[in-house]
Structure 1
Amino acid sequence: MRSKSYYESNKVGVDTLSQALGVNIPYACLMHQRNIKTPEEAKHYLNPSKDQLRDFSLLKNSHKAADCLERHIQSNHRIMLYGDYDVDGTSSIALLYQALRLVLSEDLITTYFPDRREEGYGISVRGIEHAIKNNISLVIAVDCGTKDFDSVQLARDHSINVIICDHHEVGEEIPNAIYINPKQNDCEYPFKSLSGCGVLFGMLHHWAKTHHPMLDIFRFVDYVAISITCDMVALEEDNRVLANLGLEAMKQGNFSAPNIPRLIGDRYIDEDSLTFYLGPKINAAGRLQRADMALEALIGDDASLVDQLDRENTRRRSLTQSMTKEALAQIHSPQYPYLNASLVWLPQGHSGVAGLVASRLVEVAQKPAIVLCGEDKEATGSARSAGDLDLYNLIQENEHHLLRWGGHHAAAGMSLKKESIEAFFLSMNNSLGNTSYELAKTRLDCAISFTLLSSTFCQNLLRFGPFGVGNPSPTFCTEGVTVKTKGIRSLGSSGNHYRLTLIDPLGNQRDALYFNAPSNLEEIINGPFCLVFGLRPNLWKGILSWDIVAEDIWPE
């Protein structure tokens, strides 16, 4: 028995909207969910543009930051660009470097990414000591810094100015810096979910408009799109506009660096190609080594760097698989003590992929997960939430066990003393036992027949994107589907990926891809079933087609 679709729950409203706007039921359904009620609102939503963006000068302290940056530029001071080692941080430093080298000699610009294992997340003391040693006058930190009071104060004690552009949750105190974060108190910028690169882009937009009016900062908007899609921030409002502008620029061949299309490869450029192809390669460098290689790839023309990142990503996948296997063995052990979460310590594990392993544990166990690595004095790791659980608040309740940590409601990173691990896990498990949350449910937009799935229909669906957190891609269903005789073919070597040849009740035949299918698939498809699916663009030898991608199968 399938669950009720959005259309079935809102039939009167969707039908009325369909008639008023002259669009079919699937389009009307998607518009109704997004509170689009008039042709004007539809035109506005389906055509994202620069003029829909809020005024970036409303970002608190953006004026101070822009003026401070310009003073250092005019004085030919040395400037350090300090970034987190993930895609958001790396794309931020790429954007900042590209913008500054248009107005400042490159030998006055230096970049710094902390070593993930040696320094951990955030602005490190080692990083500031490096700045002091190299006569840096200004540090601009992006996608980090909110909790780094001591290291920021060390910089200030040595007369180094610090600008922080961050988007993580803010506590009661902020560092002694020019601090820009839409989540801080009294910030009038109304959209609170920018990526770290988005916050930086807002500051640079105000800086360029004020001090360099001939510099169009939107020429680098592809970096912002990369950060938004890969950092899993909400694809709503300003984020959706910025991501769309960046993706459209890339589709037109406008890249900030020659290596960006090489990192994407020969595939259709959309949010998925950034999230699942470019993003993991950039992340692999920061996870396993240092992010400097990824930065060079994002700003340069050395194609060999793309090959190196491919190799690092292959190594990252192998490491993730072996660590996930070990973590699953722990949580499935009869002696496993934690009922409310997947809490795992892997002494020999690599903290660079702890977040990926934690995400996999959430998928399998449907519980929040924390994966810690390291056998020396300190352990470092990552946490991932499940459903609508606010992970940030939960960790904050137990932060007395931690040395350092930071994050947001869905993910966090942390370091703690090895002897504190058991107490921290027990405390988190107990806190989760007293916390209620809802897991994500399969969401259906509406039922649809295979006959409607034309190229035009699919192409128009893209106008509701880019899709992601807060703006999910459409999910349809078709009932009474059967599999054609000998219509199941295995894909790859995993044993759970398939291509199915399907027939709907009207006799229309379509192929569908089914990844990570259940082990009893052949039993499920033995009779008629309801196919739950999405649609995915596929570019092959310059020809764009559309794949049906099965998300679930419900026997009838």
Structure 2
Amino acid sequence: MIIKQRAPIQYDNTLTQILTTRGVSSTDVKRYTMASLETEVNSPYAFGGELMEAALKLLIRHIKNNHQVLVVVDCDVDGNTSAALLINYLYKLFPSWVENKVDYCFHEGKQHGLNDMVESLDETNYSLVICPDSASNDTDECKFLKEDCTDVLILDHHDFDKENPYATIINNQEGYSNYPNKALSGVGVVWQFCRYIDEKLEKNYANDFLDLVAVGLVGDMMDLRQLETRALVSAGLKNFRNPYLYYMAQKNAFKLGSKITPMGAAFYIVPLLNAIQRSGTQEEKRLVFESMLDYKAFIKVPSTKRGHKPGDMERIVDQAIRTSTNVKNRQTRVQDTSLEALEKKIEKENLLNHKVLLLLLDDDNIPAEVRGLIANKFMAKYQRPCCLLSKGDDSYSGSARGCSIAGVDDFKQLCLETDDIEYAIGHPNAFGLKIPQNNIKDFIAKTDLALENMSDEAIYYVDYIFEGQNCNPQTILDIAEMNDYWGSELDEALIAINGLKVTKEMVTVYRKKDNTLKISLNNGVSIMKFGASDELCEKLTDNNTGFIEMDICGKCNSNEWNGAVTPQIFIEDYNIIDSNKYYF
């Protein structure tokens, strides 16, 4: 374990100290903490007034002509929330048209945009295809549809690398508009389009769907340092109104706690939706999506509950919540089986001899939908970048994950700099990667060289370092109150204690299914280790030991019991650096 302090302590205020080290200007801290829809949301006209007007006119023309319209539901959380928001909003304005003329379709796998379905659309009678959260780069597909007299409306946030004059495109990235917030995902773009419609039609419906906006932004890992993004997430997580989100939150109420935070949504809501997109059937994807539609969620359908009787009925949303859980469990079983098989491959081929754990799959035994999850697991276990790639005709492609804890903060850029890859698309440490087969050896050699100084120990970047028992209880409580802030680009604060001398009298071990270790300091701070090993517990409670000297890294928590609030540190990692035995 290596401890590094993020930055010197410059501010007495804990919140200011932590936010500024993550890129929030010290002059903006107060504004950031008070960010609201009223003060921070940009005008939809920032996309361009003429463009927004053209998009609305296109939509209204098809509605007035009672045309058939298709909404392409993209295969991630942002795509689902984007499409659900748009359809729910339009239903408030034009319920009969939506029920009778709006269809929606789903990708078979993890495809995005129009590429995998454009030819099948040639056989349909859709006059307008709407692509929320996708298709900005699908120039050829849009041209194909345009030539077939089908209009395309794109509401997207992805970067583009080629012109697309065959669709009406609302996009917040450079080249499409001067919209100031680039950390607005597809659901945010859809919401702004709905706000524009609100203004033109003198309605006030868009804000009814802020919960979908918040979950889509969190699911797409948008930068929460951006004031507008922060305001939208804060407002949306306060009040879940969408049927699926509301009942999923109810199911996970104990895990989510008294209020839903960005990290809570990321851990207990987003993965259920992602599992459906990765591992669900077409029927399961449709079921869950329809549970997000206000006008369909409460329709009763034949029950699929275990032990149901013929004729039993249940609401779509209830069936969807159960199905989401079942699919996630199914995905986990596949993941665990795959992990076991790949562990043998790692050992047999000595793959840990290289700085990047590069797993090349020559068959389809590992389902594509769990490869990103597996890459994450191996990255965390072996604390190094991991690539899980399957063989194509003349290349390998799949999921890549960087490893900040090993000091690799932008693995995508490192891969690009090798000049051996065909593409690396996505986030700096979570992206899709494709390497020509003939370049594999060069890629391994270059990444070994580039990462030759990569730490073999876990690196923890902490906000505060305390010596011995001199940790500040108030600082711990201050950090514990910041749960609403943690999220993308605002990683949770860590603190370190160096040289803590632990005696047997300071230690309590609670032995149930797993060991819970508690170290009590003189200043009222409790240091907790859940799932502590028997070896550690025995070492700290050895009657022949005077003290054990430890370095500790952990997260901050506040525990309230009988009206008393106690600062706690949850151990993430530790080193035992010295011990002193009693001699009789």
Q: Same fold (TM over 0.5)?
A: yes
- Rate the CA distance shift 1:428–1:226 in 2: closer, same or farther, 3 A: farther
More deviation, 312-321/179-188: 179-188
The residue that corresponds to 2:273 in the other structure is: 282
Q: Show CA shifts across 1:186-224 (max 9, x none).
A: 5311221222222322333223333x3313312111112
Q: Show CA shifts across 1:121-157 (max 9, x none).
A: 1234552344443311222213332443333332222
SS in 1 for 2:3: coil
- Rate the CA distance shift 1:514–1:196 in 2: closer, same or farther, 3 A: farther
Q: Show CA shifts across 1:249-272 (max 9, x none).
A: 23xx78686534345444322222
Aligned: 1:206 with 2:208: no
Letter in 1 for 2:359: V
1:116-515 aligned at under 5 Å gives the runs 116=109, 120-174=110-164, 176-185=166-175, 187-210=177-200, 212-237=201-226, 238-250=228-240, 258-262=246-250, 264-266=252-254, 267-268=256-257, 269-289=260-280, 290=282, 291-299=285-293, 300-301=297-298, 302-336=317-351, 339-346=354-361, 347=363, 348-373=365-390, 381-386=398-403, 387-389=408-410, 391=412, 394=415, 406-413=425-432, 422-423=437-438, 425-426=440-441, 428-429=443-444, 432=447, 441-447=459-465, 449=471, 451-452=473-474, 457=478, 460-462=481-483, 465-478=484-497, 480=500, 482=502, 487-489=508-510, 498-506=515-523, 508=524, 510=526, 512-514=528-530
Tell me the distance in 2 between the aligned counterparts of 1:2 and 1:400. 32
Answer whether contact 2:557 2:569 (CA < 8 A) is retained. Answer: yes
Tell me the distance in 2 between the aligned counterparts of 1:539 and 1:409. 39
SS in 1 for 2:493: coil
Shift in Å, 1:424: 5.7
Q: TM-score, normalised by structure 1?
A: 0.80
- Rate the CA distance shift 1:232–1:35 in 2: closer, same or farther, 3 A: closer
- Rate the CA distance shift 1:551–1:57 in 2: closer, same or farther, 3 A: farther
Aligned: 1:111 with 2:104: yes
The residue that corresponds to 2:550 in the other structure is: 529
Letter in 2 for 1:475: L
The residue that corresponds to 2:305 in the other structure is: none
Letter in 2 for 1:452: Q
Q: What percentage of aligned pairs have identical amino acids?
A: 20
Aligned: 1:59 with 2:75: no
Tell me the C-alpha RMSD between the 2 structures: 3.9
More deviation, 99-108/545-554: 545-554
Tell me the distance in 1 between the aligned counterparts of 2:168 and 2:539. 59
- Structure whose residues are more often strand by fraction: 2
Shift in Å, 1:356: 0.7
- Aligned residue pair count: 519
More deviation, 256-265/268-277: 256-265
- Rate the CA distance shift 1:162–1:338 in 2: closer, same or farther, 3 A: farther
Q: TM-score, normalised by structure 2?
A: 0.76
Answer whether contact 1:123 1:152 (CA < 8 A) is retained. Answer: no
Answer whether contact 1:398 1:424 (CA < 8 A) is retained. Answer: no
Tell me the distance in 1 between the aligned counterparts of 2:402 and 2:242. 36
Unpaired stretches in structure 2, ≥5 consecutive residues: 299-316, 541-546, 578-584
Shift in Å, 1:287: 0.9
The residue that corresponds to 1:48 in the other structure is: 35
Letter in 1 for 2:486: F
Give the one of 33, 47, 58 matched to 1:68. Answer: 58
Shift in Å, 1:244: 0.9
Letter in 1 for 2:105: Y
Answer whether contact 2:493 2:555 (CA < 8 A) is retained. Answer: yes
Letter in 2 for 1:3: I
Answer whether contact 1:81 1:96 (CA < 8 A) is retained. Answer: no
SS in 1 for 2:548: coil
SS in 2 for 1:344: strand
Shift in Å, 1:520: 6.6
- Rate the CA distance shift 1:538–1:98 in 2: closer, same or farther, 3 A: farther
